[in-house]
Amino acid sequence: MKWGTLDMQSKTSLIKSEILKTIFRSVGWVSIVYFLGLFFAIPLDIIMNSSGEQRKFLDIDNLFQYNFQLQFIFSISVPVALSVFLFRFTQVKQYSDLMHSLPVKRESIFHQYALTGIMLLILPVLLIALIILVLYQPMNLQDFYSMGEILNWVGITLLFNIVIYLTGVSVGMLSGLSAVQGVLTYIFLLLPVGLIILVSINLPFYLFGFPGQYYMTSKFEKFSPLIAFTQMNMRTPSNVETAVYLILIVSLYFLGLQIYKRRRMEAVSHALVFPITKPIFKFGVTFCTMLLGGGYFGEMQGGTSWIIAGYVFGALIGYAAAEMVLQKSWRVTIHVKGLMVYTAIMAALFLLFQFDLTQYEKSIPQSNEIERVHFSESFHLYNDIDHEEPLYLKEYENIDLVRRFHEKIVKDENRQAQDSGRGSVFIVYELKNGEKLVRDYSINKREYKPYLKLIYESDEYKMATNEIYQVPEDETTKITITPSGPVTKRAVITDKEELKEVVQILTEEVDTASYEELQGIDEPYAHIEIYYNDSKKAYMTWNPSYTRFEEWLKEKSLLNDAKVNSNDISYALAAKAEDIDINFAAGYSYEEVFEKMTESKSSIKITDKEQIESSLGNSNGYIEGDYIIAFYFDEQRTMDIKSFTEKTVPEFIKERLQ
Amino acid sequence: MIKIRNVRKSFEEMDAVENVCIEVNKGSIYGLLGSNGAGKTTLLKLLAGIYAEDEGSIAIDGQPVFENPQMKDKIFFIQDHPYFLPQYTVKQMAQFYKNIYSMWDEGRFEELAAIFEMDLHKKIHRFSKGIQRQAAFILALSARPEVLILDEPMDGLDPVMRKKVKSLLIDEVAEREMTILISSHNLREVEDLCDFIGIMHNGRMILEKDLDDLKTDTHKIQVAFKGSVPAIFDSLKILHKEKRGSIVICIVKGDAKEISSYVEQFKPVIFDMLPLTLEEIFIYEMGDIGYAVQNILD
Ligand SMILES: Nc1ncnc2c1ncn2[C@@H]1O[C@H](COP(=O)(O)OP(=O)(O)OP(=O)(O)O)[C@@H](O)[C@H]1O
Ligand SMILES: [Mg+2]
């Protein structure tokens, strides 16, 4: 291929066998080490775990799963090491003078070195694949994966290795120091991801509503081969990814070649060979450390003064470090002019975002532009991997409602800053023109209850968030009601008529549930699973507000099995929270609390069934109240611990604890 | 053969070589002299095609050198500190160059190795500095270059070796018209070798001389006259003149015969024409360029 065409060009730019020889002499060992490492990681592992007993515990369905950490370490280090050692001759002055006084064109030198390097990466992988192929039949590897997996492994490993290697080569052409080449290579490989993280942390400080997490988490790994490789034991790269990497390989190769051809050999031993890259590097580092400093202080301390202090501090450290690298000395001279220009640009950027000159904060699409809108309390509900499709509202009224709510939040921006509340709102507008507008706010939910109530109580929202609406009454086959609590009992309904009734009742209960009831912090009585259409299953909880459902269960004598009651409990212990010697904020276990309550003289024991029943009804699932109550469950010999507030505590407990 | 025209090379802000012009004929030996940092190495690396010139042109036989393998095939450059591929023996280096330089002469290599009694199978980096330099000479001469570029080649060689190397170089020039460029700090080190001398200072070529001309052109005469000194000096090219009693000593440029016949006309009482050392010529000729010249004469 490449070499063949070179042969044609002229007699003097033939590949020189002695150049290939010197390449093998100087970096052949890298290839050998890589081979041995891979041999240790894969074929040896296959052989050592070949007994029937060991095979039972093997959970392997592709080749990456053999010592994946080792393979990962090799794939990120070997190509970079190879690129550094291979191009040593561009980083050592006398070596460079020797090589570049030879009657060989630079282009030819580059092709010979770079391609031989690729070969040195390919050979060990192919050899290992060959060994595995030989082992495939005798070791019965078909029990774990098909032969195609071997090819897959070769392809993916080489794809990543070569991308990383050629990044190292291209960076090496920019730098005159091997150490800088190595470090810069990794910086480049991580740069896109790093920048996304830094920007996502910093922009929310200025842009009210900027969904940092959305940008940080979505398709994050695709922007760095190093991070993408960590997933190769679980997934194969998509076609698009593969294509991008292939394009990267070709472009990096020719980029490296072009840079090498333009490289001035006198700049060997300078950190950066091309003068124009120096300010880019210097201010690039300054910018990144500035964002890092501001982001760190902003997250840890909060407040504008801390953020600014973080910026100044980060920028100064980054600037000094970059200058040290460039000037190769601890004592650096500072060029004030450059620094001033940088400060001016940063100030302009600050103003741009701080005063929202881009209109980012105020831009809310018109209702008629919106196709549909996702509205939830967290990015994670949008990006939930278990659900294929997140919730969307499509009805005009609801879209308009979300929009108006959004407007209100934006209008209240200054108030939010002071009391960034406990709740958050995550909105994704999908516009008719295909664009997306994503916002993330942290708000005080109580203040916006009217809006939230309207949205949550809307039919569309309820339909979208409750699976019960998908259940056809006639095709329901079974319903199980599992009480929440340490009991093994449960209620099961299979009668056709009864099933129909329950589904109707439950649907009505959800229909009529108010925002307050839906948002209530009460623990659900039970978890309900509704089986329908043979294999499908809908899931919901029994909210304490569903009283008609409770009555129905009572009528059918199912209540006892559907809900924890005093029959499950042999006794309860109650005490004032302050009397129990436990620091709840620091973490605790139920056993610990129970033990302390048993020992405590100030706690009381309740055995009366009626009193237990009323305690069950009034207590709350969180250990936050003024009174703590521990229920002892006979059946599993475990306890459940709940609490009362001053308001909900039953009279008899209050009296006895006086 | 070698034409360097108005060449400039700068490193970042500093000009290392500025507006330098040199012409070297085939089969001659050109000595590049100058103090530390004068720009000699830079100029030689430009000529060897390692650096690209910023301005001007460098050509050998009318062809540029930079990125021109055909031309570079005829050039061999020995660095100021000889350098070899890591971990290579002389034999392996020879194989390497044999593959790279089309004119490589294996017979010559064996011959030279014998002359220098070189251990071919020892790693070169284990050799002493002087032996490494000998190895570099062996390899360079075996490549049969048309142009040999030597950066401070005598550095680290003992006097016996210097002589041996010099005579080898002179032989090679005489035999097959090889052209040599040689840099040095010291005039005396190369004066017996060079036909031409160029003196560089602060990146500029301040002086270029044909040594043979210089030696035959400059003369020291001592004259004394009866009575007053006649006005003979007005029509002579005098570089320097001093009076010791009645004797006038002066350094004169021009053809020896012409000068003596001219002076004889005035019937001097004493008239001697003395040979000048190269050193003296330089001192008289360039008194004003002081430091630069002083340095290469130490
Ligand atoms: N690679 C380089 N990068 C930057 N400056 C350089 C480089 N090489 C040489 N210089 C500078 O260029 C000037 C000329 O250097 P050069 O090595 O050509 O001098 P020289 O005449 O060979 O000196 P010496 O007699 O010490 O060998 C010096 O001031 C030197 O500092
Ligand atoms: Mg020098």
Would you say residue B31 has pLDDT above 50?
A: yes
Phi then psi for residue A19, to 5 deg, are -70, -40
Res. A612: pLDDT tops 70: yes
Percent of chain B with pLDDT over 90: 58
Is A1 domain-assigned? no
Nearest CA to ligand 1 atom 2: A266
Do the domain assignments include residue A215?
no
Same domain for A170 and A247? yes
Q: What separation in angstroms does the CA of A121 have from each of A24, A147, A186, A213?
A: 12, 22, 18, 37
The count of structural domains within chain A is 5
Boundary residue ending a domain (A413, A448, A464): A464
Least confident of A68-72, A248-252, A409-413, B165-169: A409-413
Q: What is the pLDDT of residue A7?
A: 42
Asked if residue A362 belongs to a domain, the reply is no
pTM of this prediction? 0.80
Whether A233 and A107 map to the same domain: the answer is yes
Chain A residues within 8 A of B87 when measuring between CB atoms: 25
Q: Are residues A340 and A380 in the same domain?
A: no
Chain A partners within 8 Å of B12 (Cβ) = 275
Sheet holding B270-274, edge to edge: B237-244, B247-253, B218-224, B270-274
Q: Whose CA is nearest to atom 11 of ligand 1?
A: B16
Is B9 in a helix, a strand, or coil?
Answer: strand
- Domain assignment present for residue A410? The answer is yes
End position of a domain, from candidates A405, A439, A464: A464
Assign A9 a pLDDT band (cuts: 50, 70, 90): very low
Mean pLDDT across B90-118: 95
Q: Let me know if residue A211 belongs to a domain.
A: no
d(CA A492, CA A368): 48
The last residue of a domain, from among A437, A464, A491? A464
For residue B146, pLDDT beyond 90: yes
User: Are residue A290 and residue A301 in the same domain, yes or no?
Assistant: yes
**Per-residue pLDDT, A3:** 46
Q: Give the number of beta-carbon pairs within 8 Å between A and B.
A: 72
Domains of chain B in start order, with CATH, are: 2-211 (3.40.50.300), 213-297 (3.30.70)
Q: Which of B69, B79, B102 has the CB atom closest to A105's CB atom?
A: B69
Residues of B in contact with A10 (CB under 8 A): 69-70
- Please write the tens of the pLDDT for every residue from B185-235: 888 888 889 999 898 888 998 888 888 777 777 888 888 888 777 777 777
**pLDDT given for residue B138 in this prediction:** 96
Domain contains A209? no
pLDDT in tens, A283-296: 999 999 999 999 99
Closest-CA distance, A189 to chain B, in angstroms, reads 30
Question: Are A625 and A483 part of one and the same domain?
Answer: no
A22 interface with B at CB cutoff 8 Å? yes
Most B CBs within 10 A among A12, A261, A265, hence the mutation to make, goes to A12
| Res B251 pLDDT > 70 | yes
Residues framing ligand 1 (Cβ under 6 A): A 266; B 11, 16, 34, 36-42, 80, 185
pLDDT single digits (tens) B33-45 = 888 889 999 999 9
Chain B positions in Cβ-Cβ contact with residue A96 (cut-off 8 Å)? 50
Instruction: Supply the pLDDT for residue B103.
Output: 94
Domain-embedded: residue A213: no
Q: Are residues A38 and A111 in the same domain?
A: yes
The pLDDT-based confidence of A316 (bands split at 50, 70, 90) is very high
The answer on A483 and A412 residing in a single domain is no
Contact A98 B11 (CB under 8 A): no
A111 and A30 in one domain?
yes
Range of the domain at A186: 14-198+224-267
CA dihedral A382, A388, A392, A394 (to 10 degrees): 160
Ligand 1 centroid–CA B208 distance in Å is 21
Residue A301 lies in a domain: yes
Residues of chain A neighbouring B99 (CB-CB closer than 8 A): 16-19
Nearest CA-CA partner of A206 in A316, A132, A333, A294: A294
State whether residue A265 sits within 8 Å of chain B by CB: yes
In 3D, which of A190, A263, A261 has the Cα closest to residue A227?
A: A190
Evaluate if residue A414 carries a pLDDT over 80: no
Residues A63 and A97 in one domain: yes
Q: Which of A 142-161 lie inside 8 A of B, CB atoms? A: none
Residues 99-158 (B) with a CB less than 8 A from some CB of A: 99-102
Question: Is residue A317 within 8 Å of A293, Cβ to Cβ?
Answer: yes
What local confidence, expressed as pLDDT, does residue A510 receive?
84
Residues A161 and A238 in one domain: yes
Q: Which of A22, A24, A101 to mutate against chain B (most B CBs within 10 Å)?
A: A101
Where does the pLDDT of residue A4 fall: very low under 50, low under 70, confident under 90, or very high at 90 and above? very low
**Which atom in ligand 1 lies closest to the alpha carbon of residue B43?**
18
Q: What span, in angstroms and rounded, lies between the C-alpha atoms of A229 and A37?
A: 18
pLDDT at A119 over 90: yes
User: How far is B222 from chain A, CA to nearest CA, in Å?
Assistant: 52
Residue A249 has pLDDT above 90, yes or no: yes
Say if residue A313 is exposed, middle or buried (CB neighbours under 10 Å; 0-12, 13-18, 19+): middle
pLDDT at A2 over 50: no
Verify that A246 and A110 share a domain, yes or no: yes
Q: Is the pLDDT of residue B179 over 60?
A: yes
Same domain assignment for residues A613 and A555? no
